[in-house]
Structures are given as C-alpha cells and as structure tokens.
C-alpha cells in the first residue's frame, strides 16, 4: 500500500462500485491543501492556468516550464489525492518528446499526465504507457485545438461525430489510457461513452452519466468576469468559506446532484 490514499486502481474500483469521482483544478500549494483536505479524489494542474492565472484568452501560451513549476507547487500541498498534470500545447507531437516532457512533470510530483486528442494520439498514449507513464485522455471540446474548432462549442451533437467520439474513446482505452476527460458533449453521449468504457470517464459539461466530474477551481468559486459556461455552478454562493464550497461541490458530485439538467447539454 502506497502513502497515497487515491491510486489509479482505486479510481477504477470507484467506477465498478458506482461511486462518483470528484476532481478539481489547482495551481498552487495552498489551494491544493484545501482541495486535498476536502476529499477531492483527483487534483488537476491544468494548462487552464494560462487563462485563470495568467489572463490569456486560450491555453495555448502555457509552457512546459510553467506546468512544471505549478505541478511542483501543487505537489507540496497534496497528501491524499491523485495528482494529474496537463501536457501543454505542442509538448507531445511525437512519442519520444511526449515521454521526455511527461517525465519532467512526473519528477515534479505528477502521478499521471493528460493529453488531448483521439486517433492521432493513440501511438503517443501507447508509447507513454509502455514507459510506465500513466495517461489520461481528453476528448470532446479540446481547448488546445480551439482555433481549429472555431470556438468553444459543444461537440458530438450529430450522430456521425458522436460515433467518432465513442470510437476514439475506445481507441485511447485500447492504447493504454487509464482515465478519460470528456468535455462539452451532450449528456446522453457522455453516459454512452462512460458505459462503453472500462476506464473511468470524468466529465466537464458532459452530463451526470459520467463516472465523475471536474471543474476549474476559479469557476467553482465564482471568480472571473467573462461569461460563465453552462456547465459551471458557483458553489461559493451561500457557502461559509472556500473549504465549505469545495466540500459542497464534492458532496453534490458524489450524490449525483451535480451536474443537473441546468448544467448539462
């Protein structure tokens, strides 16, 4: 038994038992400690730091050096949760480069890395898995492909694109991915993919049928001046303090109260 309470086999067991997995982003040691103490299962050091910390319009400017720095900071605040870190834009164009950059994040404290894309990433996922680097896939809305997608839009609304996402999810699982983040897809598709896969599927704007949920911490706290995405709920509203808001979110996910229809597509 490791010193960590949450391991990849435990997350898989949660799916088997029908228990929801609770995930949140964090970018520093203080918030990581708050999330860890509130019982969050997976803490994601997201390349979203480029937006919520640095003020950029997209995640594309986030560098590997910045991801390594914030991963190191977050790792100092985590005792229980599984620490997941994003591989940033253009840090995994080839299996070899992906492995080198993933190793950098794992040396800073990550226990798993996340990358975006389906078929085109299968070879990278397979290679990382062979090097004992746990991989979390990411399908649906891909923030690193935002200019190619033409904006932050719901994916998989048509039958053909929905079928393609299901096929890509199965491909990532076959290549060795141990988790999958599914972003901004119809709730019915989120549930279909979660049911079809053996690995846990963590949704963000993908409906309550996923095996767990993740949000950007700043969105959960009601911070930011831009338009709030439909899938975001401000858990600070009515909460006594930040730890209480985080615990309320965790309880809402575990009980299946979040997301509801209002926060789904």
Give per-residue pLDDT as tens, 191-235. Answer: 999 999 999 999 999 999 999 999 999 999 999 867 889 999 999
Overall pTM surpassing 0.85 (yes/no) = yes
Which of 136-145, 150-159, 169-178 is predicted with the least confidence, judged by mean pLDDT?
150-159
Task: Assess whether pLDDT exceeds 60 at residue 101.
Answer: yes
Encode burial over 49-85: b for 16+ CB neighbours within 10 A, e otherwise.
Answer: bbbbeeeeebbbebebebbbebbbbbbebbebbbbbb
Residues with catalytic annotation? 183
Give per-residue pLDDT as tens, 53-95. Answer: 999 999 999 999 999 999 999 999 999 999 999 999 999 999 9
Give per-residue pLDDT as tens, 141-167. Answer: 999 999 998 888 999 999 999 999 999
Domain count, the chain: 1
Classify residue 207: in a domain, yes or no: yes
Instruction: Please say whether the dihedral angle defined by the alpha carbons of residues 220, 225, 228 and 229, taken in this order, is positive or negative.
Output: negative
Calpha distance 202→223 (Å, rounded) = 23
Classify residue 136: in a domain, yes or no: yes
Classify residue 2: in a domain, yes or no: no
Classify residue 102: in a domain, yes or no: yes
| pLDDT score, position 25 | 98
Structural domain span for residue 195: 8-263
Average of pLDDT values for 177-200? 98
The CATH number that applies at residue 153 is: 3.20.20.60
Classify residue 228: in a domain, yes or no: yes
Classify residue 230: in a domain, yes or no: yes
Check: CB of residue 160 under 8 Å from CB of residue 167. no
Classify residue 3: in a domain, yes or no: no
Classify residue 193: in a domain, yes or no: yes
């Amino acid at each position: 038994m490791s010193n960590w309470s949450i391991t990849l086999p435990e997350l898989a067991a949660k799916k088997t038992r029908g228990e929801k997995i609770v995930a949140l982003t964090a970018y520093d040691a203080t918030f990581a400690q708050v999330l860890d103490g509130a019982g969050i299962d997976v803490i994601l050091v997201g390349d979203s730091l480029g937006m919520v910390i640095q003020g950029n319009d997209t995640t594309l400017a986030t560098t590997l050096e910045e991801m390594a720095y914030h991963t190191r900071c977050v790792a100092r605040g985590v005792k229980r949760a599984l620490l997941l870190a994003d591989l940033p834009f253009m840090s995994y164009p080839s299996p070899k480069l992906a492995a080198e950059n993933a190793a950098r994040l794992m040396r800073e404290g990550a226990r798993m890395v996340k990358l975006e894309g389906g078929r085109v990433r299968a070879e990278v996922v397979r290679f990382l898995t062979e090097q004992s680097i746990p991989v979390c896939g990411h399908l649906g809305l891909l923030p690193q492909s935002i200019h190619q997608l033409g904006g932050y839009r719901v994916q998989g609304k048509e039958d053909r694109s929905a079928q393609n996402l299901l096929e890509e999810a199965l491909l990532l699982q076959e290549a060795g991915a141990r988790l999958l983040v599914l972003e901004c897809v119809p709730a019915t598709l989120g549930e279909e993919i979660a049911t079809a896969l053996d690995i846990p599927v963590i949704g963000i704007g993908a409906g309550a049928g996923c095996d767990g949920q993740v949000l950007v911490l700043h969105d959960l706290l009601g911070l930011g001046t831009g338009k709030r995405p439909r899938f975001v709920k401000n858990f600070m509203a009515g909460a006594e303090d930040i730890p209480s808001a985080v615990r309320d979110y965790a309880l809402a996910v575990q009980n299946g109260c979040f997301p509801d229809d209002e926060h789904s597509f």
